[in-house]
Amino acid sequence: MPNPHIPVITIDGPTASGKGTVAQKVAQHLGFHYLDSGALYRLTALSVMRRDIPLDDEHALAKAAEHLHCHFNGAHIFLANEDVSNDIRAEAVGNLASKIAAIPTVRQALFGLQLSFRQHPGLVADGRDMGTVIFPHAGLKVFLTASVEARAQRRYKQLIDKGFSANMEDLSKDLTERDARDSNRSSAPLKAAEGAYLLDTSAMTVDQAVAQVLGWYAASKPA
């Protein structure tokens, strides 16, 4: 059972809000472990796609999540022993991940795996329900967001840099639809956790956002 005294910072927010980049840099600065919970759903989606599991077979989807053989090595993400860091960033994988993330049995299957990332000396976890469901007693909770326009531009650059084709209009439409799906699902909907600091990064640099989170963390620690 993870030690409840190990510090946790949660950074939740919608797709392409920049939470992953900010969380990684905060973790690096503090020497903490890092959990990209969205990657777990993308890994599940990739596994489901490769095995042709139908979206209406909830039992099979949950089994795929429960038996997910993955590990993280810095910025590299492995499914079994295959580096799938780029594969899971494809838009088709992201869209499927959003759909299966709405299934309660899939979320439950990944619950224990996410808790296991809480290790010394601390953890920075990013996702959509880190502060509301997975680590509700985290010492610092942040809800990080940005306008759809800013997020579409960031997502466009990310995809182009990774060699994927992308269209700004399609990205904006997909982000809006994904926001609605994530916010309105019955199981662990996307929302700010109680007591979370709100951070809109639309007009902020990554370094500014990181500095703000680190400032909040320093202020949240016992004297």
Angle formed by the axes of helices 37-50 and 104-115, nearest 10° = 130
Query: Token pair of 195, please?
Result: 């007591």
Residues 123/24, Cβ–Cβ less than 8 Å: no
Q: How many C-beta atoms lie closer than 10 Å to residue 215's C-beta?
A: 11
Is 38 annotated to bind ligand? no
Is 17 annotated to bind ligand? yes
Is 105 annotated to bind ligand? no
Is 15 annotated to bind ligand? yes
Is 215 annotated to bind ligand? no
Is 16 annotated to bind ligand? yes
Q: What is the 3-state secondary structure (H, E, C) of 80-91?
A: CCEECCCHHHCH
- Edge-to-edge, what's the strand order for the sheet holding 82-83? 70-73, 76-79, 82-83
Is 19 annotated to bind ligand? yes
> How far apart (Å, rounded) are the C-alpha atoms in residues 18 and 3?
28
Terminal-residue alpha carbon distance, the chain: 28
Is 94 annotated to bind ligand? no
Q: Which among 44, 188, 46, 55 has a CA at the least distance from the CA of 109?
A: 44
Residue 48, φ and ψ in degrees, nearest 5: -65, -45
Is 191 annotated to bind ligand? no
Residues 91/164, Cβ–Cβ less than 8 Å: yes
Annotated binding site: 13-21
Annotated binding site for ATP: 13-21
